[in-house]
Amino acid sequence: MEKIIGIGNALVDVLVRLRDDSLLEKAGLPKGSMTLIDETRQRELRACMEGLPVEQATGGSAGNTILALARLGGNAGFVGKVGRDALGKFYADNCKQVGIDARLLHCDLPTGVANTFISPDGERTFGTLLGAAATLQPDDITPELFAGVAMAHIEGYLVQNHDLMEAICQMAMAQSVQLSLDLASFNVVAADLPFFRHLVQDYIDIVFANEEEAAAFTGKKEPLDALREIAAYKCLAVVKLGGKGSLARLGDEEVVVGANKVPVVDTTAAGDFFAGGFLYALEKGASLESCLKFGTLLAGHVIGVVGTRLPDEAWKEIRKQTP
């Protein structure tokens, strides 16, 4: 299998399962939101967490997608920036453990942290300190990062740095590397819509969006209408509908797949794992329908656990169902 790398914010997820939502109110975090915080706010959140069970895992949107690819047995790599600290070492060690070729850059800021608060209904609320992750810059993007790479999967959160995204896309094109983009968050898309459209028009081969992100990108409320408008940019368009299924369109081929009914424990990384399963199946030469179904399978598994730590037995069963 040819190498697929992720490019994104290298974050360590600090996962906290809540008994109720009172901590969110105390911390001033709107339920279901992603709030960027500074180091002072990070210390305040840590104080709020005292006495609660906490787990750590590698995270970040693109990082989660690449984790899924690696656990499936894919040839996976990751580009991001971490600090020269214990969490940076934790990130690198975890990548090595699961077989990710981590092409990590370093700086003196602390490694980024995504404080992930999981409500009893499975909804996630994030307080994110980007730290070192936010210092990834155009000068960091070198041909060596793309050596031996067939596809790069980019998380949309990087779009806030226009020069960085241009550098990534132009370097990928120069190295004949295909580009996949996850639109990341509807509010991020809405805030920077012209630039997102420029990227998809001029560089991107595959677009992943959930229902809200697709609507923000196209202005179309109906998912099928949004899917068709994204695909009109001459890319492979994929729209995830959560419990309602998923859609894909490439050229004149259009596929609709329903969701699997599974109990929800934590929706962390559901969309990221979907993308990992989809890209893995696509690289294997599977049909669009099979790609959607395999992505759905992975998403269904990860929402049944806290965080992204599926047991080895689950991965064995998933790999048996590879298209």
Closest CA to 205 of 231, 174, 241: 231
Closest CA to 159 of 194, 124, 111, 120: 194
Laid out side by side, the sheet with 112-118 consists of: 34-36, 124-129, 112-118, 11-17, 54-59
Q: What percent of the chain has pLDDT over 90?
A: 76
Beta bridge partners of 118: 17, 124
Kindly report, residue by residue over 34-54, the tens digit of the pLDDT: 788 998 999 999 898 888 888
pTM: 0.91
Residue 135 has a CB neighbour count (10 Å cut-off) of: 17
Closest CA to 319 of 281, 287, 279: 281
Locate the domains of the chain by residue range. Answer: 3-320
Kindly report, residue by residue over 64-110, the tens digit of the pLDDT: 999 999 999 999 999 999 999 999 999 999 999 999 999 999 999 99
User: What class, spelled out in words, does domain 3-320 have in CATH?
Assistant: alpha beta
Answer positive or negative: Cα dihedral of 237, 241, 242, 244: negative
Question: 3-state SS of 13-61?
Answer: EEEEECCCCHHHHHHCCCCCCEEECCHHHHHHHHHHHCCCCEEEEEECH
Predicted local distance difference test score (pLDDT) of residue 266: 63
